[in-house]
């Protein structure tokens, strides 16, 4: 049947209202994303583990798209029908928004889409486009912003209200860069930190980002950023470590969440105390040391950097060396950054063998639901921390 013969006005988008509906959507996601690495039982076990984490708990919505006659009861309540054509999930996250011409930074809800699936038999009929059009309408009632990463190019989501942004992946191979003799040959020390330290650092980083946006000049561009939260870093690490243990036979358990520049070579306890003060400080001139937070992406054989804060070109080398050391310790072949700081790229290239490329997949897409037709939107932290 061709697309123009289908009456898409008969279709609706609703929140999944039963556990069976949610489990069916997970089976569809497994067929698309999980079957190459695990069986369905392991996939369901992983999903149950992840939904117990703070990042997902209370924040996950499963949406299903199908005929109104199947999904809506006569009394207008949602039915328990398993007859639907496509589905996706949203994860609610806080975001900072500073509108053009304004000095105020708002903290708003954003709905981020990690998974969208439509079975092969239902593709090419306009269902996906119609579902996303309805998603814009429904999600705008619940949030101000939506972010996703497209594996189907820029245009598909662009037609439905999400604007595409550039993504450059920077790969630093371990075998071409790791040298035991020069790993400690910098005057700046990088301190490896664990989960507890990461939770404090994330709060400090978030508070500093808020202050940076507040004191940034008022311009004709709107600034949007996710709030970089520890719960996201925890979720990413738990997910990757689950795959490592249950699917890839990795027995060594990661301890470190990242590395931070310790210019004063002060004790970790003092450094942690300073960050705790920064996390709650109301002053405008607060700052946070340079750092990176990562996950061990065993499936892709990499240390994948989730969040990067670099204050000086002098901090580039010690942080990258720390990531290379962590990769070497786990027999991972590379370190990967998304949209590494343009102003520090020369420093990176001068000191390391680097491969950078413009990505054609995982293209970052953002929708500011009440954006005006001529409003320019600058996406801050357009790196892995925005990816779900």
pLDDT score, position 1: 40
Q: In the 3-class helix/strand/coil scheme, how is 78-147 assigned residue by residue? A: ECCCCCCCEEEEEEEEEEEEECCCCCCCEEEEEEEECCEEECHHHCCCCHHHHHHHHHHHHHCCCCCEEE
As to burial, measured by CB atoms within 10 angstroms (0-12 exposed, 13-18 middle, 19+ buried), residue 351 is middle
Q: Which has the minimum average pLDDT: 259-273, 298-312, 370-384?
A: 259-273
pLDDT score, position 187: 55
The mean pLDDT value of the chain amounts to: 94
Closest CA to 315 of 359, 348, 276: 348
Residue 324 near residue 348, CB atoms below 8 Å:
no
User: What residues are paired with 242 via a beta bridge?
Assistant: none
Residues 121, 144: Cα–Cα separation, whole Å:
33
Closest CA to 237 of 88, 384, 32: 384
Residues 220, 384: Cα–Cα separation, whole Å:
26
- Find the mean pLDDT for residues 357-371: 96
As to burial, measured by CB atoms within 10 angstroms (0-12 exposed, 13-18 middle, 19+ buried), residue 205 is buried
Residue 125 confidence class, pLDDT cut points 50, 70, 90 = confident
- Find the mean pLDDT for residues 84-91: 95
Over 70: is that where the pLDDT of 2 sits?
A: no
3-state percent breakdown (helix, strand, coil) of the chain, nearest 5 = 35, 25, 35
Over 60: is that where the pLDDT of 186 sits?
A: no
Percent of the chain at pLDDT above 70? 96
Q: Which has the minimum average pLDDT: 48-52, 121-125, 271-275?
A: 121-125
User: What residues are paired with 148 via a beta bridge?
Assistant: 113, 365
Q: In the 3-class helix/strand/coil scheme, how is 176-238 assigned residue by residue? A: CCCCCCCCCCCCCCEEEECHHHHHHHHHHHHHHHHHHHHHCCCCCEEEEEECCCHHHHHHHHH
DSSP state of 174: S
Residue 7 confidence class, pLDDT cut points 50, 70, 90 = confident
Question: Is domain 11-164 classified as CATH 3.40.630.30?
Answer: yes
Q: pLDDT digit string (tens) for 188-211?
A: 689 999 999 999 999 999 999 999
- Find the mean pLDDT for residues 163-188: 84
Max CA-CA distance within the chain? 73
Domain boundaries, the chain: 11-164, 168-358
Mutual angle of helices 40-50 and 19-29, in 10-degree steps: 120
Over 70: is that where the pLDDT of 185 sits?
A: no
Q: Give Cβ neighbours of residue 266 (< 8 Å, ≥ 6 apart).
A: none
Q: What fold characterizes domain 168-358?
A: Aminopeptidase (3.40.630)
Look at 188 and 76; give whichever has higher pLDDT: 76
Residue 182 confidence class, pLDDT cut points 50, 70, 90 = low
Asked, colleague to colleague, whether 11-164 and 168-358 share their fold, the answer is yes
pTM: 0.94
- Find the mean pLDDT for residues 291-318: 98
- Find the mean pLDDT for residues 35-57: 96
Q: Give Cβ neighbours of residue 237 (< 8 Å, ≥ 6 apart).
A: 195, 254, 257, 295, 296
Q: Give Cβ neighbours of residue 19 (< 8 Å, ≥ 6 apart).
A: none
């Amino acid at each position: 049947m061709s697309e123009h013969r289908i009456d898409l006005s008969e279709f609706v988008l609703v929140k999944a209202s039963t556990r069976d509906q949610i489990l069916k959507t997970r089976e569809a996601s497994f067929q698309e994303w999980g079957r190459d690495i695990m069986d369905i039982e392991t996939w369901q076990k992983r999903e149950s583990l992840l939904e117990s984490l703070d990042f997902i708990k209370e924040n996950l919505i499963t949406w299903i798209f199908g005929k109104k006659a199947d999904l809506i009861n006569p009394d207008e309540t949602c039915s328990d029908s398993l007859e639907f054509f496509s589905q996706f999930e949203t994860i609610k996250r806080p975001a900072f928004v500073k509108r053009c011409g304004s000095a105020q930074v708002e903290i708003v809800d954003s709905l981020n889409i990690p998974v969208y699936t439509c079975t092969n038999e239902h593709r090419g009929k306009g269902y996906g486009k119609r579902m996303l059009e309805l998603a814009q309408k429904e999600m705008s009632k619940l949030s101000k912003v939506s972010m996703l990463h497209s594996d189907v190019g820029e245009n598909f989501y662009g037609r439905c209200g999400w604007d595409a942004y550039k993504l450059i992946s920077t790969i630093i191979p371990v075998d071409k860069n790791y040298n035991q003799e020069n790993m400690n040959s910098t005057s700046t020390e990088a301190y490896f930190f664990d989960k507890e330290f990461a939770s404090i650092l994330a709060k400090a980083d978030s508070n500093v980002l808020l202050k940076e946006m507040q004191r940034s000049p008022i311009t004709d561009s709107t600034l949007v950023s996710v709030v970089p939260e520890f719960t996201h870093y925890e979720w990413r690490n738990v997910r990757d470590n689950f795959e490592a243990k249950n699917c890839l036979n990795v027995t060594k358990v990661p301890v470190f969440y990242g590395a931070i520049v310790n210019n004063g070579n002060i004790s970790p306890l003092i450094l942690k105390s300073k960050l705790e003060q920064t996390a709650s400080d109301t002053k405008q001139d607060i700052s946070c040391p340079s750092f990176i937070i990562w996950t061990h992406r065993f499936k892709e054989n990499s240390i994948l950097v989730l969040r990067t804060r670099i204050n000086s070109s002098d901090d580039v080398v010690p942080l990258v060396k720390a990531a290379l050391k962590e990769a070497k310790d786990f027999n991972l072949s590379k370190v990967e950054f998304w949209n590494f700081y343009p102003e520090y790229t020369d420093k990176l290239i001068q000191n390391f063998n680097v491969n950078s490329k413009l990505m054609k997949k995982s293209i970052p897409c953002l929708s500011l639901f009440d954006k005006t037709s001529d409003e320019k939107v600058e996406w801050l932290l357009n790196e892995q921390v925005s990816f779900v």
